[in-house]
Structure formats: C-alpha cells, structure tokens
C-alpha cells in the first residue's frame, strides 16, 4: 500500500525535524475526521541511548508526541487551518498499556472529536500488532505560522 503522505510531504506541513519527527508516513487520511500514520521504531533512535541502557523502551511522552504529530496533520488538513501551526494545549486521560521496543511498528490512530475557530480536540491511540500501547485525548490550539 502506497503512503498517502511521505516523510517529505509531512515535513512541508509540520515544523518537526530529526530527531523529533516521529512519523514515517501517513497510511490514510479522511480530512476533518481521522488519520492513521506509521512510525517504524528502530534501535537507531537517539532516545534509546538513555531509555534504558540494556532495556530499550520508547518513552511514553514520545509516543504522545507521535500521536500529536499525526493529530497536527489531521487538523492542518482541514480547509480552515491550512498553512497554520497546531500547538498542543492539553493531554487528558493518557494511559500506557504496552511498552514499545526497537523493531515495533507503531500505528498512530487519531479521530477528530470537536473543531472550533482556533482549536481542535482529538481522540488518539497508538498500537503495535493490533494491541494498544497508548491512548489519550489531545487538545490543540491553532495559530498562524510565523
């Protein structure tokens, strides 16, 4: 299956770059409704050097960041927010259910719940092999790009 958006196309939409870009491609997008994106987790990730030596585990906060990046793409694909920047405003009900390790393929699922003039609320979850690793509700504030 061909990606809907490649890493290069993602970088045109959001300001994140290596080492803090946590999406390899977008699998599918339904603008204003939902998105599925992929992060291939490799042993070469910079964070594995310190988290944890001898037991590499992707930090939960970075799984949330990956979900936030996918949510940003979804929000910025909405006609009214095109060309703007989405900033995280809140994280609610975050739960971590499974560790994410090198070699895992992290699927990022985001569904739009609410959209207003300059904000959006999304339900998110990340899974590995069909098992939830993390879930959270994220709120975004959308502003003009500087």
Catalytic site residue from 3, 51, 59, 115: 51
Verify whether residue 51 is a known catalytic residue: yes
Distance set, CA 80 to CA 43, 73, 89 (Å): 39, 13, 19
Contacts of 111 (CB under 8 A, 6+ apart): 33, 34, 122, 123, 124
The strand ranges marked E within the chain are: 25-30, 34-40, 84-96, 105-115, 119-128, 131-144
d(CA 139, CA 103) in angstroms, rounded, equals 30
List, by residue number, the catalytic residues. 51
């Amino acid at each position: 299956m061909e990606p809907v958006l490649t890493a290069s196309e993602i970088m045109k939409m959001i300001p994140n770059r290596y080492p803090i870009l946590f999406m390899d491609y977008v699998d599918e997008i339904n603008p204003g409704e939902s998105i599925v994106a992929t992060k291939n987790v490799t042993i070469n990730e910079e964070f594995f050097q310190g988290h944890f030596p001898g037991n590499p585990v992707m930090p939960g906060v970075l799984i949330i960041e990956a979900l936030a990046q996918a949510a940003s793409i979804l929000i910025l694909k909405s006609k009214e927010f095109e060309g703007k920047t989405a900033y995280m405003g809140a994280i609610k009900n975050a739960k971590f259910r499974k560790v994410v390790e090198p070699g895992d393929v992290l699927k990022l699922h985001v569904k739009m719940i609410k959209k207003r003039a300059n904000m959006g609320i999304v339900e998110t979850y990340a899974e590995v092999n069909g098992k939830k690793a993390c879930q959270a509700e994220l709120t975004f504030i959308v502003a003009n790009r500087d």
